[in-house]
Amino acid sequence: MEAGGIVTTVTDGDTVVLDDGRVVRMIGTQAPKLPLGRDGFETWPLAPEAKAALEDIALNRPVRLGFGGEEVDRYGRVLAHVFVDGPQGEVWAQRAMVGQGLARVYSFPDNRACLELLFAAEGKARLGGLGIWSDPYYSTRAADAPGDLLARAGQYELVEGRVLLAERSGGRVYLNFGRFWKEDFTVVIEAPALRIFASAGMDPLVLEGALLRVRGWVDDRDGPRIEVTHPEQIEVLALR
């Protein structure tokens, strides 16, 4: 943990600028996105509200930064958990935003600290229908509706369904959620990710028959799929 300085600008619901000029990306979360000068980029629902909420939490206040993995991304942004010295005590900005339903858990294989606490906050917000969880844009998608998932290709989604078949092939593990792997939803776990699973004592092959919630970027490659790069992208809702 280190002193970060004063937040002088809130860029959006998961990014702030400090008084020394550093841009801090609040790791572990993804808030609704604003265009921020990107041509053709449409504002996500509740993006202005998320920015306003983070301004209420952090703007013009001193912060401390906590690190749990990679500390700087390829854009030069600091990757940190942000702890705000607020009028009622210290506030963990990530958990506050997720707890209000104005951000969701968004993790990376090289930055996985504190996710259990963030998942708990997200679960409460989702059950309460807070913020993004009351907007269809962020609805959890059904794994057995591949057409709907293909329509969301290129988007970060939460997908729920039961694994019909878990198999290893060509150094990868495939979790198939339908009988027709070229059409139905599939989770792909590549060899580097399998090593992360193994180091965590997890074998994705045991997930056959399990009801899962998977989060990640949907792409269209022989039907809709999500590539899972680390275990925290998969939540086990029920076993066989």
CATH of the domain at 172: 2.40.50.140
Let me know whether 106 and 193 are in one domain: no
Write out pLDDT tens, residues 67-83: 989 999 999 999 999 99
Let me know whether 13 and 129 are in one domain: yes
Contact in structure between 18 and 26 (CB atoms under 8 Å)? no
The predicted model scores a pTM of: 0.93
Let me know whether 186 and 210 are in one domain: yes
Let me know whether 32 and 128 are in one domain: yes
Let me know whether 112 and 165 are in one domain: no
Contact in structure between 125 and 106 (CB atoms under 8 Å)? no
**Domain end residue (candidates: 101, 134, 167):** 134
Contact in structure between 85 and 63 (CB atoms under 8 Å)? yes
The number of folded domains in the chain is: 2
**Domain end residue (candidates: 85, 104, 134):** 134
Let me know whether 75 and 31 are in one domain: yes
Write out pLDDT tens, residues 77-129: 999 999 999 999 999 999 999 999 999 999 999 999 999 999 999 999 999 99
Let me know whether 179 and 226 are in one domain: yes
Let me know whether 145 and 200 are in one domain: yes
Write out pLDDT tens, residues 202-213: 999 999 999 999
What distances in angstroms separate CA 141 from CA 21, 112, 145, 194, 202, one per listed residue?
A: 39, 24, 8, 25, 25
**Domain end residue (candidates: 81, 106, 134):** 134
**Domain that includes residue 226, residue range:** 140-238
Question: Average pLDDT over the chain, rounded to whole?
Answer: 95
